Amino acid sequence: METQATINYNRIADAIGYYKANFKDQPSLEQVAEHVHLSPFHFQRMFKEWAGVTPKQFLQYLTLGHAKQVLGSGATLSDAAFEAGLSGTGRLHDLFIKIEGMTPGEYKNGGEELPINYRFAESPFGSLLIASTHKGVCYLAFADEDRTASLDLLKEQFRNAQYHKAGDGWQDEALAIFAQDWSRPREIKLHLKGTAFQIKVWETLLKVPMGGLTTYSEVAGSIHNPQAVRAVGSAVGANPVAFLIPCHRVIRSDGQTGEYHWGSTRKQAIIGWEAAQMETRVA
C-alpha cells in the first residue's frame, strides 16, 4: 500500500514529466493541475511544500540552459573546495560521508555470517529501503516495487547474509539528509562492496556539491583516467546507495540529464529539488 508521501511524490513526478514534455507550450498552472487531478490551489501548495519554490520557479532548474550554466560556471571537480568525502556546502549543510570498502572476507560466499539490518523509510522522492552492517550503510534504494520485491533485490547483493528488520544509528544519520535539518554536522559511514575503481569513482562523486553538476568525462579526468568514460558510467550505474553518493549529479556533456537507474524523471526531480534548496537558503 502506497504511503501518502509516496502518493504526493508520484503526483509531483507526474507534473515534472508533464512540464518537460510540454515545456515549449509553457503550460499554465491550471493545465498542469488538471493533469495531476488537483485544483490549481492544492497543486501549487503541494508543490511549494515539496520543493520550497513554485512550479514555475522549479521549472527553470530543469531546463537545458540551467544545466549548461551550472556546467559552465568554471568550477571543476579538480579545483572544487570539497575534499574527498565532503558533500554539501557551508551555506546549506555539512555532511561528512566516508566510504569503507568491504574486505573480500566480508562478502565472500554471498556475505555468509554478515549481519545486515534493514528497514523501509520515506523520502521526498518516494519510499526507500535502507540497510546497514555493523560498519555503516551498505544499501539505499528507492522501493518502487512492493516491499517483498524490493527486499529481494537487496538480498541478491548478499545472498547468505543474516537479515534483521531493524533500524540503527547508521541508518538514522543517513536518512536525516532528507529531513532538511542542517542544525549540526552529520557523519555518515558507508560500508560498500565495490572494486577499487568503483570506490574511487564514488569518492569523487562526493566532491560534487548540492546544486552542482558534473559530467562523466569530467569524473574520468578527475581520477586521472580520461579514457575511462564508459567505465565511469558503469561505476556510476552500480552505485549501491542512492542519493547519498550523488550519482544523480552526473549528466551528459551537452547538458542533457541522461539516464538514471531510478528513472530519468526522478533524476530531474532530485536535481531540481537540490537546486531549489540551495536557492531558497541563499535568498
We report the CATH number of the domain holding residue 126 as 1.10.10.10
Residue 16 belongs to some domain of the structure: yes
Task: Give yes or no for residue 220 having a pLDDT over 60.
Answer: yes
Residue 233 belongs to some domain of the structure: yes
Instruction: Specify whether 40 is located in the same domain as 148.
Output: no
**Nearest to residue 283, comparing CAs of 30, 53, 35?**
53
State residue 105's pLDDT score.
84
Q: Model pTM? A: 0.86
State residue 184's pLDDT score.
55
For residues 220 and 229, give the distance between their C-alpha atoms in angstroms, rounded to a whole number: 6
Task: Give yes or no for residue 79 having a pLDDT over 70.
Answer: no
Give the tens place of pLDDT for each residue, 8-54.
Answer: 899 999 999 998 888 778 789 999 999 999 999 999 999 999 988 89
Torsion sign (Cα): 188, 8, 208, 101: positive
State residue 163's pLDDT score.
96
User: Side chain identity at 24, as an amino acid letter?
Assistant: K
C-alpha cell at 77: 571537480
State residue 111's pLDDT score.
84
Instruction: Specify whether 218 is located in the same domain as 238.
Output: yes
Give the tens place of pLDDT for each residue, 153-210.
Answer: 999 999 999 999 999 999 999 998 887 655 555 678 999 999 999 999 999 998 888 8
Q: Which of 24, 40, 60 is the last residue of a domain?
A: 60
Instruction: Specify whether 13 is located in the same domain as 94.
Output: no
For residues 272 and 213, give the distance between their C-alpha atoms in angstroms, rounded to a whole number: 11
Q: Determine whether 247 is an active site residue.
A: yes
Instruction: Specify whether 152 is located in the same domain as 259.
Output: yes
- Radius of gyration (C-alpha) of the chain in whole angstroms: 19
Asked whether 162 and 116 are in contact (CB, 8 A), the reply is yes
Residue 66 belongs to some domain of the structure: no
State residue 25's pLDDT score.
80
Domain count, the chain: 2
Residue 8 belongs to some domain of the structure: yes
Split at pLDDT 50, 70, 90, the class of 60 is confident
Instruction: Specify whether 12 is located in the same domain as 87.
Output: no
Q: Which of 60, 88, 106 is the last residue of a domain?
A: 60
Span 123-148, average pLDDT: 93
Residue 65 belongs to some domain of the structure: no
* Alpha helices for the chain (secondary structure H): 4-21, 29-35, 40-51, 55-60, 64-71, 104-107, 147-157, 169-175, 196-205, 216-222, 229-237, 264-282
Task: Give yes or no for residue 77 having a pLDDT over 60.
Answer: no
| Residue 185: C-alpha distances to residues 15, 92, 209, 220, 278 (Å) | 34, 11, 15, 30, 17
Q: Which of 97, 161, 247, 276 is catalytic?
A: 247
Q: Residue 12: give the domain boundaries.
A: 4-60
Instruction: Specify whether 33 is located in the same domain as 167.
Output: no
Instruction: Specify whether 128 is located in the same domain as 29.
Output: no
